[in-house]
Chain A
Amino acid sequence: MINSKVFIAAIFSAILFMAGSAGYKILADKAIIQHDVIDAISRWKQSYTVLANNTESWQKTYPSWKNIPDFYTLIGTIKFDEYHMTADTDSFVINSVDPVLLKDIDIGLSRVCFGGANGDVLVSAPKFTILLQGIQQISARQDISIGSISILGGKGFPQAKFGQFCMYLRSR
């Protein structure tokens, strides 16, 4: 009679033992999965925080499409006059608009290429030194892409011709 009680107790206890172990395992496994997710999140956050440092300069560097209602506003952002250059902006037409893809990733920039006759952007300055300085300053601008640069002497003011002159605009 006592043995049967011990036996029943042992069976009961064994069931509790197995159920407890199984329950623990299920919960612990879930916790592990959860921890993996948390790790992924914290890694993501770390990367994001590091990369987010660039976001501000990214937004400063490239003007947004939203703030550029028309083509003339776009040309206005080049500000040739600040470089003491003049350009026949009236003759400019847009040659192409393409999204910028890096490793097949759309990085949220559009490349807007434009120019006058022959597709080039022709500018002039009173002196060679001014022209060269202007060329350097424009070339240094992150939001402008220039395919080629030519210096043109001859009669009148020295001129520069930019081939494949494009601007980068944030598309989002």
Chain B
Amino acid sequence: MFKFTKRKIQKTQRGLSTLNYISSIYEAQQNTSRKVILSGFTIFNSMKNEIIPGFIALPARNATTGFNVFKKNAPKVFFSVDSDIFNALNKNVRCAVAGDAYLAFGLKQNVPTIIIGGREISGETNIEVLVFNEGSLIEVAEHNLPSQDTSQYIDSLNNLVEKLSAQHDNPKIILVAPLVDLSAKIKGIQYADEHIFNSLTYRKIDVKGKRITSLAIPAGIVLAGTIFYITAILMGWNLYTKAINEYKEAVKDQLVIKQNGIDTQVLDVMDQQRIFMQAPKRQVKLSEQLKQIVIGIGKVSGVFILEIKMPAVIDTAKENIELNNSKEPIPDVLISLSVPKEDRSAMEQAKELINLISQNTGLSIHLARQGWHDEGLKRLFNIEGFIHD
């Protein structure tokens, strides 16, 4: 318990002691601390973006709250630091600007507020006045007053406070450390100690005056997003244009132009044409078979061909409809022959004739029903033949 308390006190003391203010080149030269607060004469405050010779401009700070930040003429405050300070300071020293703390503290107030900050150095007190109203900084001013030990200082400050009160309709006026607490001596002012500087962040400041980290991170994020966006769109666009070009190339083909674009019906027709041309034709087989039959019958002496008909029944339609309604098979060929009448029965003569023709043609043959009659010296036969495939 004792230890804890002791440590807490030590910490508080260290906390106070670590606040190192730099308000002159001399202080900068003598500085041994790694974290310093720039205040007083070393800093120039303005609400306009002015270039001051010998000063390095820091990035503008938003001097308003909430969505007002996005307004077109959102108030900003510009801090410029005496460049000699940087030359005097060790490069590894991290800096903060006292004005940032005034700004943050002032913006936090809900009522019209005036912050009076500053620091005394070499017998002169540099006073910074920040006027806030409705969550925005509306005015910045600097005043040089005598040393805080003198009565003139109190008088001057009192005058200033009265003047500001009159100008700004009795605002809350807060005097801020490290200025001496005069809330007891000057009517209508409050005092804020060094705790307002606790929220400050310390950064290395490069010679160009730009805080490296402040914009680098958001800029990096936006850059990454932009690069991603551009890359994605370019990649997509590449794919698309490549496809379009390939399409144009494909369509440019003479084949496609000739056919007025691609039409699958054209292909169907062409395919059916191919099938139609390549389909084996029955008539070719028919004529070959007919030839064989004629030759075969011709070998049988004394036979005279009256008619050979193939096929026996004409397939009237192009389609192969089944014509065979009866159980009786339809012959492939009908043959009518005339032979000299022999002195034996027609059936006997037919039997021999049929055997001969069958052997010579390879057909299986039978006499048609009522398939013979005599005509003078001739005997006529009607024969039905079947082709064996």
| B259 in complex: contacting residue of A15, A48, A145, A158, CB < 8 Å | A48
Q: A17 in the interface, Cβ–Cβ < 8 Å?
A: yes
Interface residues on A, range: 35 or more
Nearest CB in chain A to that of B289: its residue: A149
Give residues 18-76 of A contacting B (CB, 8 Å).
Answer: 19-21, 23-28, 30-32, 34-35, 37-38, 40-42, 44-45, 47-49, 51-52, 54-55, 57-58, 61
* B269 close to A152 (CB less than 8 A): no
B245 to chain A, nearest CB (A): 10
Q: B310 on the interface (CB 8 Å rule)?
A: yes
Q: A153 near B271 (CB under 8 angstroms)?
A: no
Report the nearest B residue to A27, measured CB to CB. Answer: B236
Q: A27-B239, A163-B314 are in contact. Are A108 and B284 (CB under 8 A)?
A: no
Residues of B within 8 A of A103 (CB): 272
Q: Judge whether A47 and B267 touch: CB under 8 Å.
A: yes
Asked if A149 contacts B236 (CB within 8 A), the reply is no
Q: Which residues of B contact A58 (CB under 8 A)?
A: 273, 277
Interface size on B, residues (CB 8 A): 75
Segment of B7-15, B138-146, B224-232, B362-370 engaged in the interface with chain A: B224-232
User: Measured between alpha carbons, how far is A62 from B297 in the docked complex, in Å?
Assistant: 36
B314 touching A9, Cβ below 8 Å: no
Chain B residues within an 8 Å CB radius of A13:
221-222, 224-226, 228
Residues of A within 8 A of B235 (CB): 24
Q: Are B304 and A153 in contact (CB under 8 A)?
A: yes
Do A154 and B240 form a contact, CB below 8 Å, given A27-B233, A58-B273, A164-B314?
Answer: no
Number of A-B contacts (CB under 8 A): 214
A38 touches B286 (CB 8 A): no
Chain B residue contacts of A45, Cβ below 8 A: 250, 253, 255-256, 262
Q: Is A109 an interface residue (CB 8 A)?
A: yes
Pick the residue among A10, A102, A140 that contacts B221 (CB under 8 A).
Answer: A10
**Contact present for A149 and B264 (CB under 8 Å):** no
The answer to whether B229 and A30 touch across the interface, beta carbons within 8 angstroms, is no
Q: How far is the CB of A147 from chain B (nearest CB, A)?
A: 5
Bound: A147/B304 CA distance, A: 25
Least CB distance from A65 to B in Å reads: 16
Contact: B262 with A44, CB < 8 Å?
Answer: yes
Is A9 within 8 A of B217, CB to CB? Answer: yes
Q: Do A128 and B243 have beta carbons less than 8 Å apart?
A: no
CA distance A35 to B201 in the complex (A): 56
Contact A150 to B272, CB < 8 A, known contacts A16-B229, A27-B239: no
Which of A30, A35, A40, A153 touches B262 (beta carbons < 8 Å)? A40
For residues 14 through 56 of chain B, which have their beta carbon under 8 Å from a beta carbon of chain A? none
Q: Would you call A41 and B283 a contact (CB within 8 A)?
A: no
**Residue of A with least CB distance to B214:** A2
A27 to chain B, nearest CB (A): 3
Tell me which residues across on chain B come within 8 A of A52, comparing CB atoms. Answer: 255, 270
A-B contacts besides A153-B307, A158-B305, 16 pairs, CB < 8 Å: A9-B221, A20-B229, A20-B232, A23-B233, A23-B236, A34-B240, A34-B243, A35-B243, A38-B250, A41-B247, A102-B272, A132-B287, A139-B281, A147-B314, A150-B309, A151-B290
A interface list, Cβ under 8 A from B: 1-2, 4-6, 8-10, 12-17, 19-21, 23-28, 30-32, 34-35, 37-38, 40-42, 44-45, 47-49, 51-52, 54-55, 57-58, 61, 100, 102-103, 105-109, 128, 132, 135-136, 138-140, 142, 144-154, 158, 163-164
> 26 interchain pairs (CB within 8 A)?
A4-B62, A4-B69, A9-B221, A19-B229, A21-B232, A23-B229, A23-B236, A31-B236, A34-B240, A34-B244, A38-B247, A41-B251, A41-B253, A41-B256, A44-B264, A44-B267, A51-B271, A61-B277, A105-B269, A106-B269, A132-B290, A135-B291, A148-B286, A151-B294, A152-B306, A164-B316
